[in-house]
Amino acid sequence: MEKLFSFDHLEKPVKVHLKNVYSSLAIALLLAAAGTYVNLIFNFALGGFLGMIVSIGLMMAIVMTPHSPQNTQKRLFYFWGFALLSGMSLGPLIQAVINIDPSIVPTAFMATGLIFVCFTLASLITNDRKFLYLGGLLMSGLSLLCLMSFINIFVGSRGMFEAELYLGLGIFCLFVLYDTQLIVEKARRGDYDYIWHSVDLFIDFIAIFRRLLVILANKEQNKKKRRD
């Protein structure tokens, strides 16, 4: 087991890069939790159209600001702002879930963490690049999710909504495999932009967590309806 998880097949610069990526990701998740707390306690959230505009602006700022030692602090602030805003946008959903059953939130978070760690290790342990071939399939899956969401705006089908939830959960679980291996390969080719790589994994984590919240909340509501 020690040999298995030593990641001897990874070069030292890649290991250092991964350390930076996951450190930044951990800070971003703490900030997202703080944003959620602010929303729950003070009922303050930057959501809706304004929140979307700010989020897009912060993402574009990260992309358009060149990766360099001089810009590292600036890009980190953009990332932290994006993480904080993401937490605030989760606030209303988490409040609704708490009203159904408060235990769902820690359960969903622990399940998300377990899924994320397992898929990350599965990607890091392997010594080949087979998960990179998932890219085309995953992008097609995202297009299908967007199409289903758009159609369901007019159809309002409960079945389609649940299918989209479970399909999206599966897709973003696979994205953890794909993005992790892509980060390793980019680092091997000299791309050490750990901030943007952290953004990719942060989006995966939040997407999985959001879907697990809704799935578990729906199951609990169905249980209550059957009991009533």
- Average pLDDT for 175-192: 93
Tokens matching residue 210: 């959001």
Which of 40 and 118 is assigned the larger pLDDT?
118
**pLDDT score recorded for residue 104:** 93
**pLDDT score recorded for residue 44:** 63
174: Cβ contacts below 8 Å, ≥ 6 apart: 119, 134, 137, 138
CA angle 4, 131, 117 (to 5 degrees): 50
Which of 14 and 44 is assigned the larger pLDDT?
14
**pLDDT score recorded for residue 50:** 65
Residue 223 is part of which domain span? 10-227
- For residues 87 and 209, the answer to whether their CB atoms sit within 8 Å is no
**pLDDT score recorded for residue 46:** 58
Is residue 1, in this structure, part of any structural domain at all? no
pLDDT of 25 over the 80 cut: yes
- Average pLDDT for 116-121: 92
Largest Cα–Cα separation, the chain: 61
Tokens matching residue 178: 């794909």
Is residue 3, in this structure, part of any structural domain at all? no
Total domain count for the chain?
A: 1
Q: Which amino acid does the sequence have at 63?
A: V
**pLDDT score recorded for residue 129:** 78
- Average pLDDT for 49-63: 80
- Average pLDDT for 161-179: 93
- Average pLDDT for 151-170: 88
Is residue 2, in this structure, part of any structural domain at all? no
Mean predicted lDDT score pLDDT of the chain: 87
**pLDDT score recorded for residue 2:** 45
Q: How far is CA 141 from the centre of its chain?
A: 16
**pLDDT score recorded for residue 135:** 85
pLDDT of 211 over the 90 cut: yes
**pLDDT score recorded for residue 3:** 43
pLDDT of 194 over the 50 cut: yes
> What percent of the chain stands above pLDDT 90?
50
Is residue 5, in this structure, part of any structural domain at all? no
Taking only the tens place, the pLDDT of each residue in 83-95 is 988 888 888 889 8
- Average pLDDT for 97-126: 92
**pLDDT score recorded for residue 186:** 93
Is residue 4, in this structure, part of any structural domain at all? no
**pLDDT score recorded for residue 1:** 43
Is residue 19, in this structure, part of any structural domain at all? yes
- For residues 207 and 30, the answer to whether their CB atoms sit within 8 Å is no
**pLDDT score recorded for residue 49:** 54
- Using only C-alpha atoms, the chain has a radius of gyration, in whole angstroms, of 19
